[in-house]
Chain A
Amino acid sequence: MIGKKPHSGGPSRRIRANVGGSRRSLGLALAIVAISIVMTMVSPYFFAAGNFLNVARAVAITGIVAAVSTPMLISGNVDLSVAATMGLSGMTAGALLVQELPVPVAILGALVVGLLMGFVNAVIVVKFQVNSLIATIGTAFIARGVAFLVNSGRSIFIPAESYVNLGQGSALGIPKPVFYTVVVFVLIGFVMRYTKVGAHIYAVGSSPEAARRAGISVPKITWGVFLASGFFSALAGVVLTSQAGSAFPYGGQGRELEIIAAVIVGGTALTGGRGSITGTILGVVLLGIIANSLNLVGLPVPYQDISRGLLLVAAVATDQLSGRTLGGRGVFRGLRAGTEES
């Protein structure tokens, strides 16, 4: 054996993972600070605890799904059914509550539906080798359709006060949904940064072939990220319906792109293999602060869309400039967008 003996020189400096991601995070943090300084000068209402809580409440639900979409994208897959899963699981919870079932049962039912969505997505992607982008567009339509069937297209006003109290109001002065989001971020951030599973998710996204040759089961990792995605999207659906006080079949509709935008702005690559939860948190907060700022100064919606779009394009352009290409990798696998690996 070579080199197993302790080396007297020893490593002089710690090796940090993902320096590129750290650079991105620094950039985002600076952007947030810059916008905050400008907004503090422009609007007297921006720099106030109450307003920051507004932002936190506004991004809480997007945050939960963005958190779980980060390992999804890092693994080289994408789940576009997250928003439909939110709608379907929310309707499930609502339907169970209307039957006067206990709140924990309703929440459990919603989470099971989420896991089921993850299961179906994983079967299609792993067993039938369908590109995840396409697969989850399909299942998104299906889930949305089923969500409409749950109550014949009608929404469900939530009768259980204890359920609504999970999402409405504040605890310790902080809007309740924010707590769930923080827990989810900490959990997923921990897994990605400090565990073997996290390391394997990065490896599979970076090079499925290298991961496979190194003895990592690519199908297992893919199963894992899809089940997690379904589960946490369902959790977001529960938070959404409890905060709204109503379950509605198109709950979450349109949020999938907002969520993926936040993750990508946060430095996670659609090509897989790169990204961090810290970056995603900053991406979510940045988009939230921009929306909040434009609301505060009363700029009309089109400007919000434009700014969000510019930010996304700028973020992805940075990726391209740093020498990354999209073809054939990550979510583009199997789309014949470029050279196939393997």
Chain B
Amino acid sequence: MLQVTRVFVATVLALVIAACGDGDTEDAAETTAAPTTTAAPATTAAPETTAAPETTAAPAGGLGAVIMELPTTISNAEQAAEATWVVWDEDSCSFVETDDHPDFYQAVLREAGDSGYRFAWTPEDNVFDTLIVANESFRVAAAASGADVTEFDNQYPSEEQPLVVADLVVQHDPDVVLSMNVLANLNPAIMSQYKEACIPAVAHSVPHEGQPFFGGGEWYAVGRAQAEYLIAVAEGRGWTTGDVDVLLCSHSAFVQDRTSPYASIIGFREVVKESFDVGDDNIHELECPSDIVTDQANVADWLTAHPDTQNIMGFGINDLRTLGMVNALRESGRAETSIAGGVGLSQESVGPLCANDPTFLTSVDFVPQLWGEYGIAIAQDIAEGNPIPSEIYPQATVVDAETIDQATC
């Protein structure tokens, strides 16, 4: 149900974007997180404007009109200038670093035209919810752009199938392969097959040295975006720095650095300090082992020990933890003086957002429904010989009660 509606929305979106020609252009890269301008589908729609004029920017080679520009973040939230850019080198059958690149990368899906490019997508499986959505988005994007995309199922957790798939892909001989194999130990064998066959390969989900990486979510940026959203709400309610305490629901099981989902906590903390001037004494990191009810108990204890707090801004490392936090806030009678955000747009946030919950205000969508659009756009760039950053992430979108796709409710 959910995936069907998502795919439906993505399809409609793609078609609408493809159909409508012009409109106002706006910078989608940095400001998307601000709640006033945000909006899940709206964000992705922001660059919708693009259109024909941009096509001239695309190097000649047969690709047609721009269908969709996708908000993109790169290099684990370091800015483009600091990112490594690579370009496919046909002679060495490898990606090589290049300094000759634009300041800014944006994945742009274009019509296949008469390019004749053929792409391969090898998803982990066709069973997991996120991948059902992602695989469908490849079909949708291929249909919208006319690109020739073939899907090869890695049938996770099979240890053999990814190697079989690599053989099949080599026989198929596409111009670019987007390889999503999550069994890291198999990647050396798979990637050397592609190198031998001189097929440029993008690693998806699990990075592999020497290959460009197209990731799923980008935690650090997500944490920053949620902080910006909640600060805007707080300011709208007239809260001031002095009367706000920030509660972060994290878990000690995560590595406490930028490589894990904990990066969202780092990002959130940075923004509330920088933009809302909250001091470290008023930022409290609680242990939430993600059982919702245990998370609730821990937050409830903290609330008991801090009866004098006025307003609370809460953020959970994922939606489950945020729900536990919100349950505790409600049961302690603080629902009206608290706001909270989560991550993942899973059922724990879809429910409250659809119900217009007074406390659980926002979550972040990792847009697997647009992975196909991103993937094909990146593949088109590689096939065209354009430079791309060595790490690319779809820009996740902040979702709230207004912007949530009502069809998912």
Interface residues of A (CB under 8 A from B): 43, 45, 48, 50-51, 54, 57-58, 61, 151-159, 168-170, 175, 240, 243-246, 248, 250-255, 291-292, 295-298, 300-302, 304
Would you call A154 and B305 a contact (CB within 8 A)? Answer: no
Would you call B347 and A155 a contact (CB within 8 A)? Answer: yes
- Residue of B287, B330, B331 touching A301 (CB-CB under 8 A): B287
Q: How far is the CA of A252 from the CA of B297 in the complex (A)?
A: 14
Would you call B346 and A155 a contact (CB within 8 A)? Answer: yes
- 9 closest A-B pairs by beta carbon, nearest first, are A157-B351, A295-B301, A58-B297, A244-B292, A157-B347, A301-B287, A152-B129, A296-B305, A155-B347
Question: Nearest Cβ in chain A — how far from B117, in angstroms?
Answer: 33
Q: Which residue of B lies closest to A61 (CB)?
A: B293
Would you call A254 and B289 a contact (CB within 8 A)? Answer: yes
Would you call A153 and B304 a contact (CB within 8 A)? Answer: no
Would you call B327 and A54 a contact (CB within 8 A)? Answer: no
Q: How far is the CA of A264 from the CA of B346 in the complex (A)?
A: 37
CB contacts (< 8 Å) of A243 on chain B: these are 292-293, 296, 327
Q: Which residue of A lies closest to B127 (CB)?
A: A152
How would residues 287 to 306 of chain B score, 1 for a CB under 8 Å from any chain A CB and 0 otherwise? 10111111011101110110
Known contacts A156-B347, A248-B292, A295-B305; decide if A169 and B323 are in contact (CB<8 Å): no
Secondary structure type dominating chain B contacts: helix
B307 lies within 8 A of chain A by Cβ: yes
Would you call A168 and B327 a contact (CB within 8 A)? Answer: yes
Q: How far is the CA of A151 from the CA of B347 in the complex (A)?
A: 11
- Residue of B287, B324, B346 touching A244 (CB-CB under 8 A): B324
- Residue of A58, A157, A252 touching B350 (CB-CB under 8 A): A157
Would you call B320 and A245 a contact (CB within 8 A)? Answer: no
Would you call A298 and B305 a contact (CB within 8 A)? Answer: yes
Would you call A295 and B293 a contact (CB within 8 A)? Answer: no
- Residue of A54, A157, A251 touching B291 (CB-CB under 8 A): A251
Q: How far is the CA of A65 from the CA of B140 in the complex (A)?
A: 48
Question: Nearest Cβ in chain B — how far from A274, in angstroms?
Answer: 30
CB contacts (< 8 Å) of A245 on chain B: these are 292, 323, 327, 351
B348 lies within 8 A of chain A by Cβ: yes
Would you call A292 and B323 a contact (CB within 8 A)? Answer: no
Q: Which residue of A lies closest to B300 (CB)?
A: A54
Known: A54-B304, A152-B132, A252-B291. 10 other contacts (CB 8 A): A50-B304, A51-B304, A153-B128, A155-B348, A156-B347, A246-B323, A295-B302, A298-B305, A301-B252, A302-B252
CB contacts (< 8 Å) of A58 on chain B: these are 294, 297, 300-301
Question: Nearest Cβ in chain A — how far from B362, in angstroms?
Answer: 16
Q: Which residue of B lies closest to A244 (CB)?
A: B292
Q: How far is the CA of A254 from the CA of B292 in the complex (A)?
A: 13
Would you call A154 and B351 a contact (CB within 8 A)? Answer: no
Question: Nearest Cβ in chain A — how far from B79, in angstroms?
Answer: 34
Question: Nearest Cβ in chain A — how far from B38, in angstroms?
Answer: 22
Q: How far is the CA of A296 from the CA of B327 in the complex (A)?
A: 18
CB contacts (< 8 Å) of A159 on chain B: these are 351
Question: Nearest Cβ in chain B — how far from A36, in angstroms?
Answer: 15
Question: Nearest Cβ in chain A — how far from B188, in angstroms?
Answer: 28
CB contacts (< 8 Å) of B301 on chain A: these are 51, 54, 58, 291-292, 295-296
Question: Nearest Cβ in chain A — how far from B399, in angstroms?
Answer: 15
CB contacts (< 8 Å) of A254 on chain B: these are 289, 291
Would you call B331 and A169 a contact (CB within 8 A)? Answer: yes
Most buried by A among B252, B291, B298: B291
CB contacts (< 8 Å) of B302 on chain A: these are 295, 298
Question: Nearest Cβ in chain A — how far from B251, in angstroms?
Answer: 9
Question: Nearest Cβ in chain B — how far from A265, in angstroms?
Answer: 18
Would you call B331 and A168 a contact (CB within 8 A)? Answer: yes
Q: How far is the CA of A155 from the CA of B132 in the complex (A)?
A: 16
Q: How far is the CA of A158 from the CA of B305 in the complex (A)?
A: 30
Question: Nearest Cβ in chain A — how far from B9, in angstroms?
Answer: 18
Would you call A248 and B320 a contact (CB within 8 A)? Answer: yes
Q: Which residue of A lies closest to B290 (CB)?
A: A250
Most buried by B among A45, A168, A246, A251: A246
Q: How far is the CA of A170 from the CA of B333 in the complex (A)?
A: 12
Q: How far is the CA of A250 from the CA of B323 in the complex (A)?
A: 15
Question: Nearest Cβ in chain B — how far from A165, in angstroms?
Answer: 13
CB contacts (< 8 Å) of A158 on chain B: these are 351
CB contacts (< 8 Å) of A156 on chain B: these are 347
Most buried by B among A57, A255, A295: A295
Known contacts A45-B307, A295-B302; decide if A244 and B296 are in contact (CB<8 Å): yes
CB-defined A-B contacts under 8 Å, sample of 30: A43-B305, A45-B307, A51-B304, A54-B300, A54-B301, A54-B304, A57-B331, A58-B294, A61-B293, A155-B320, A155-B346, A157-B351, A168-B327, A168-B331, A240-B293, A245-B351, A246-B292, A246-B348, A248-B292, A250-B290, A251-B292, A252-B291, A253-B291, A291-B297, A295-B298, A295-B302, A297-B305, A298-B305, A300-B287, A302-B252
CB contacts (< 8 Å) of B323 on chain A: these are 244-246
Question: Nearest Cβ in chain B — how far from A59, in angstroms?
Answer: 8
CB contacts (< 8 Å) of A253 on chain B: these are 291
Would you call A153 and B129 a contact (CB within 8 A)? Answer: yes
- Residue of A43, A48, A54, A244 touching B293 (CB-CB under 8 A): A244
Q: How far is the CA of A243 from the CA of B291 in the complex (A)?
A: 11
Q: Which residue of A lies closest to B299 (CB)?
A: A295
Q: How far is the CA of A177 from the CA of B290 in the complex (A)?
A: 19
Q: How far is the CA of A298 from the CA of B293 in the complex (A)?
A: 19
CB contacts (< 8 Å) of A300 on chain B: these are 287
